[in-house]
């Protein structure tokens, strides 16, 4: 069957003739049916059997060049990244800030309009594929697991020591007055900005894939805007950009997890070789430890990816959830549970009240020391986070799209934006609040806040529990870190192969899974050894720029898709794949 065409501007109605759907054009009806077929060429034999070579080969070349550049030209790579950090990233800071604000607003509009919110991601009346409990479990594991363990103490403590209010001199660093603004900025970075970014990518893909039958890949989300042109060069470019952004975004996440994993192994006595003394006498992961950790973690994730989503990711997600809630309960009971709950209430209120202003805030450098410090703070935190979420969005969005079939748009957005945000807030206040309470009371004496971010959670446990119990719990955290790292890398490899396979997640994938597993390991390892987290951060922010343009177009595309489907429903024109294929061209009264 020939595709009826992309979403088109409504035209004047003329009498409908009873003709097969493949002979119908937009002149017959107020609006044409949606595009329900997008042809993407894939190879039918050999090494690239089932893959789009126009996507897979360029993506592999770009990622390989980044790795080779870091390994064989480390000095040039670091100098280039430093220049990029002071020029390119600063120039695009406003773009990142305003884009994420636009994405949050778009989600709010999609939820608020009753007719849009009731549309289903799939045929009308279809039941969701997964229960809500399993759905939330997979959302939790794929999107926030590693971050919760690294940043639940790390970010509140960082803002407790330095935030815009401290920079302006209105409050004192590491004082009781610094706690509320510390959590205001923590919630800003882990709240709706992150999850609305993920939600829009997942909705843009899932809506056209599950409702209209288009392929489950990034380019399909732009079909409502560009139609069948997405099957050609433009579509190939979109998918290549998405693959590269995914590899860089996941690499940044894995880098934090690997460092914390090594710190945990060192804490529970796996050997002094794991850590070496860095600048300022601070212990950091040794190069050997990074290599060993990557071999173990990425090797396990590659094996998991080879087993497929049904057994690998779902099984690990269930383990993640059980261990995560066990750790959270520990902090609620033996940590500063009451202090954390109080923080939860005040910080959530502060976040909601200040969300519009904070979302649009953009610091400018007027030449003063204070203004320069504010700009540096925003580039190092807010802009970094928005770029991170955008780079991470193809991976998380594709994964969410795969598991969200059958849900309404309202249920989907509220579930994706609210529930994980709430879980982030609970983690940050109970775990991070305990660390801050220990510092405020003088019990910690700076041993937590002055520790490297990768070690702050373990330092908190060491003060909170007796040595034997702390060692056991730290061991469980190491296991939890391992499962989260494996789950994230596992999911990323499968999603990259799905994009390369034009939405198909079946077929011969073994050698390509091995390639992307090795690519993740080499990107993380080479960048960590080259310049630490800073090198990966800069590379990731730059890599996110092309996909940020795609993301802006995706948000417009999904709004157009749902609005035009409402118009189709009004005029009796089909909106789903099955209805389009069986349509005789007759307009019916809704």
Q: Which CATH architecture has domain 93-527+552-581?
A: Up-down Bundle (1.20)
Q: Which of 22, 504, 21, 489 is nearest to 220 (CA)?
A: 504
* pLDDT value for 149: 82
* CA–CA gap between residue 388 and residue 538 (Å, rounded): 10
> Going by C-beta distance under 8 Å and a sequence separation of 6 or more, which residues neighbour residue 89?
379, 383, 538, 541, 542
* pLDDT value for 348: 96
* pLDDT value for 311: 53
Which phi and psi (to 5°) does residue 49 adopt? Answer: -60, 125
Residues 335/337/340/344 CA torsion (nearest 10 deg): 150
> Going by C-beta distance under 8 Å and a sequence separation of 6 or more, which residues neighbour residue 61?
none
CA–chain centroid gap for 82, Å, is: 25
Domain ranges of the chain: 93-527+552-581
Evaluate whether 280 touches 451 at the Cβ level (below 8 Å): no
**Residue pointed to by tokens 């009781």:** 176
* pLDDT value for 133: 80
Quick one: tokens of 401? 């799209």
* pLDDT value for 142: 57
Q: Which of 365, 395, 368, 367 is nearest to 94 (CA)?
A: 365
H/E stretch holding 457 reads: helix 453-464
* CA–CA gap between residue 6 and residue 561 (Å, rounded): 9
Query: Residue 277: how many CB atoms within 10 A of its CB?
Result: 10
Crossing angle for the helix pair 132-143 and 384-403, nearest 10 degrees? 150
H/E stretch holding 548 reads: helix 510-571
Specify the pTM.
Answer: 0.89
* CA–CA gap between residue 90 and residue 77 (Å, rounded): 19
* pLDDT value for 167: 97
Quick one: tokens of 553? 């177009």
How is residue 430 annotated by DSSP? I
Quick one: tokens of 404? 């969200």
* CA–CA gap between residue 413 and residue 108 (Å, rounded): 9
Q: Which of 504, 414, 408 is nearest to 216 (CA)?
A: 504
* CA–CA gap between residue 328 and residue 459 (Å, rounded): 16
pLDDT tens sequence for the chain (590 residues): 334 445 654 443 333 333 344 444 444 567 788 888 888 888 877 788 888 899 999 999 999 999 998 888 888 888 888 888 778 888 899 999 999 999 999 999 999 999 999 999 988 888 888 888 878 777 765 556 677 888 999 999 999 999 999 999 999 999 999 999 999 999 999 999 999 999 999 999 999 999 999 988 999 999 999 999 999 999 999 999 999 999 998 888 888 889 999 999 999 999 899 999 887 778 888 999 999 999 998 888 888 777 654 455 566 666 777 888 899 999 999 999 999 999 999 999 999 999 999 999 999 988 899 999 999 999 999 999 999 999 989 988 988 898 899 999 999 999 999 988 998 999 999 999 999 999 999 999 999 999 999 999 999 999 999 999 999 999 999 988 888 888 778 878 888 988 998 877 554 467 888 899 999 999 999 888 877 778 888 888 888 899 999 999 999 999 999 999 999 888 888 888 887 777 766 554 33
């Amino acid at each position: 069957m020939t595709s009826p065409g992309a979403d088109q501007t409504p035209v004047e109605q003329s009498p409908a003739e009873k003709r097969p759907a493949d002979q119908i054009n937009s002149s017959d009806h107020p609006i044409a049916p949606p595009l329900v077929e997008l042809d993407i060429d894939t190879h039918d034999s050999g090494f690239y059997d089932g893959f789009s070579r126009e996507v897979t080969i360029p993506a592999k070349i770009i990622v390989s060049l980044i790795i080779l550049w870091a390994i064989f030209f480390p000095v040039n790579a670091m100098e280039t990244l430093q220049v990029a950090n002071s020029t390119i990233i600063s120039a695009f800071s406003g773009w990142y800030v305003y884009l994420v604000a636009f994405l949050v607003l778009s989600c709010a509009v999609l939820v608020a309009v009753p007719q849009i919110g009731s549309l289903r991601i799939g045929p009308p009346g279809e039941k969701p594929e997964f229960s809500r409990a399993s759905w939330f479990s997979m959302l939790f594991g794929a999107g926030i697991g590693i971050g919760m363990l690294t940043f639940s103490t790390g970010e509140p403590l960082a803002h407790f020591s330095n935030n815009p209010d401290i920079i302006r001199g209105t409050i004192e660093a590491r004082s009781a007055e610094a706690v509320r603004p510390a959590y205001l900025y923590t919630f800003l970075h882990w709240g709706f900005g992150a999850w609305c970014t993920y939600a829009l990518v997942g909705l843009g893909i899932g809506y056209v894939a599950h409702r209209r039958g288009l392929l489950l890949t990034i380019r399909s989300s732009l079909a409502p805007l560009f139609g069948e042109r997405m099957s050609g060069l433009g579509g190939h470019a979109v998918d290549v950009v998405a693959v590269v952004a995914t590899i860089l975004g996941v690499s940044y996440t894995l880098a934090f997890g690997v460092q914390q994993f090594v710190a945990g192994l060192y804490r529970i006595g796996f050997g002094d070789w794991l850590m070496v003394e860095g600048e300022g006498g601070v212990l950091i992961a040794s190069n050997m430890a990074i290599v060993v950790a990557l071999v173990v973690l990425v090797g396990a994730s590659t094996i998991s990816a080879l087993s497929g989503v049904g057994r690998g990711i779902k099984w690990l997600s269930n383990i993640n959830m059980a261990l995560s809630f066990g750790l959270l309960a520990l902090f609620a009971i033996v940590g500063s549970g009451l202090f954390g709950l109080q923080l939860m209430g005040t910080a959530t209120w502060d976040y909601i009240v200040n969300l519009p202003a904070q979302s649009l805030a953009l610091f400018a450098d007027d030449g003063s020391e204070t203004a320069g410090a504010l700009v540096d703070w925003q580039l190092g935190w807010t802009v970094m986070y928005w770029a991170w979420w955008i780079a991470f969005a193809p991976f998380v969005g594709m994964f969410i799209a795969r598991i969200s079939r059958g849900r309404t748009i309202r249920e989907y957005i509220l579930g994706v934006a609210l529930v994980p945000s709430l879980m982030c807030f609970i983690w940050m206040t109970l775990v991070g609040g305990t660390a801050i309470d220990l510092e405020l009371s003088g019990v910690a004496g700076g041993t937590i806040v002055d520790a490297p971010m990768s070690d702050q959670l373990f330092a908190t446990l060491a003060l909170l529990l007796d040595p034997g119990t702390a060692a056991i719990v730290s061991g469980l955290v190491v296991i939890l870190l391992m499962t989260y790292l494996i789950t994230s890398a596992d999911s990323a490899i499968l999603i990259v192969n799905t994009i390369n396979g034009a939405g198909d997640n079946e077929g011969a994938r073994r050698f390509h899974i091995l390639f992307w597993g090795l690519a993740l390991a080499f990107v993380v390892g080479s960048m960590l050894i080259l310049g630490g987290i800073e090198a990966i951060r800069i590379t990731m922010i730059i890599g996110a720029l092309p996909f940020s343009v795609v993301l802006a177009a995706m948000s417009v595309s999904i709004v157009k898709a749902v609005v035009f489907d409402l118009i189709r429903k009004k005029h009796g024109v089909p909106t789903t794949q099955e209805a389009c294929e069986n349509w005789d061209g007759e307009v019916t009264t809704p």
